[in-house]
C-alpha cells in the first residue's frame, strides 16, 4: 500500500455526519452530509473508513468491545455506552426499545443511546451489505492511545479539552485548518472526533492498529465486532 493512501474518519453530528480525510497521514479535507452513503460518495475512494458508531450487533448479551474500551478509559468509562442486542435497535420507538432492552439485558436504554438508533442502523446496513472498508472506532480510545493509554481528563465539550485534543492531532501530523468550509458549521468536538477516527483509520490501513477485544468478537451476522485504535 502506497504511503499516500487516503483514509477517512467519520463521526455523527447534529446535521448528519462529518468526515475528515487524511492523505499520507495528513489532513486532506473535511465533508459533511445528511446521510452516510452520501458522505462516502463525497469523500471518494478510501482504503479505510473509520466510524464512531457501533458496527456489529449480537442476538443477546453485551458486546465485549465496550467492556474492553471502558477498562482502557478507567475513570472515564462513562464515555462508553453499552450496546444492547440487535432486537432493541429494531423497535419502533424509545419506550418499546427501553422495555426490550430491560427484558434482554436486565437494564434499560438511555434516551441518549436511542438517539443514535437511526444512524446506527444506517451504518450497520452499509457494512452488512458488503462495504468492509467500515471499521468501528471510539475517538476517546484513539485520543488515549495518542497519550500512551492515558485518557484525556478534560471533557471534549470545553475549551481545555478541545485544545488538548487538537494538539494531540497536530503532534501526529494532523493539522486541522481554521476554515473547513461547510464542514466548519459542525460542532468542534465532532470534527475533532472525526479527525481522531481518521488517525485510527490510517493505522488500520497500515496494519498498526489494535482491536478491542483482540481478536474481535463475531456479530450475529458473522462480521467482526471490535473498536479499533
pLDDT tens, 74-84?
999 999 999 99
Mean pLDDT of the residues in the chain: 97
When divided into structural domains, the chain yields a total of: 1
Residue 108 located in a structural domain = no
Q: Which three cell numbers stand for residue 134?
A: 467500515
Residue 145 located in a structural domain = yes
- Provide the percentage of residues in the chain whose pLDDT is more than 70: 99
Residue 171 located in a structural domain = yes
- Whose CA is closest to 91, among 101, 81, 82, 83? 101
Residue 196 located in a structural domain = yes
Residue 199 located in a structural domain = yes
Residue 158 located in a structural domain = yes
What CATH number does residue 137 fall under? 3.30.420
> Would residue 49 be called left, alpha or beta, if left means φ above 0 and alpha means ψ between -120 and 50 degrees?
beta
Residue 201 located in a structural domain = yes
Residue 204 is inside which H or E element, if any? helix 188-205
Residue 96 located in a structural domain = no
Range of the domain at 196: 6-56+129-212
- pLDDT tens-digit map of 134-146: 999 999 999 999 9
Amino acid at each position: 500500500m502506497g504511503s499516500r493512501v487516503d483514509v477517512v474518519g467519520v463521526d455523527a453530528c447534529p446535521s448528519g455526519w462529518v468526515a475528515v480525510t487524511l492523505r499520507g497521514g495528513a489532513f486532506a479535507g473535511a465533508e459533511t452530509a445528511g446521510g452516510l452513503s452520501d458522505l462516502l460518495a463525497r469523500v471518494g475512494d478510501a482504503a479505510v473508513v473509520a466510524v464512531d458508531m457501533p458496527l456489529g450487533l449480537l442476538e443477546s448479551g453485551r458486546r465485549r468491545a465496550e467492556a474492553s474500551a471502558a477498562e482502557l478509559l478507567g475513570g472515564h468509562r462513562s464515555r462508553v455506552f453499552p450496546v444492547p442486542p440487535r432486537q432493541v435497535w429494531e423497535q419502533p420507538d424509545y419506550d418499546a426499545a427501553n422495555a426490550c432492552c430491560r427484558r434482554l439485558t436486565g437494564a434499560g436504554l438511555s434516551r441518549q443511546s436511542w438517539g443514535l438508533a437511526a444512524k446506527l442502523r444506517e451504518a450497520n446496513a452499509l457494512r452488512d451489505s458488503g462495504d468492509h472498508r467500515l471499521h468501528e472506532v471510539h475517538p476517546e480510545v484513539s485520543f488515549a492511545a495518542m497519550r500512551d493509554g492515558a485518557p484525556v481528563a478534560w471533557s471534549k465539550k470545553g475549551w481545555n479539552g478541545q485544545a488538548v485534543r487538537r494538539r494531540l492531532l497536530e503532534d501526529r501530523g494532523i493539522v486541522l485548518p481554521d476554515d473547513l468550509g461547510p464542514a466548519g458549521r459542525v460542532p468542534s468536538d465532532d470534527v475533532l472526533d472525526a479527525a481522531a477516527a481518521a488517525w485510527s483509520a490510517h493505522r488500520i490501513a497500515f496494519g498498526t492498529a489494535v482491536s478491542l477485544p483482540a481478536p474481535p468478537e463475531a456479530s450475529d451476522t458473522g462480521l467482526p465486532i471490535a473498536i479499533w485504535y
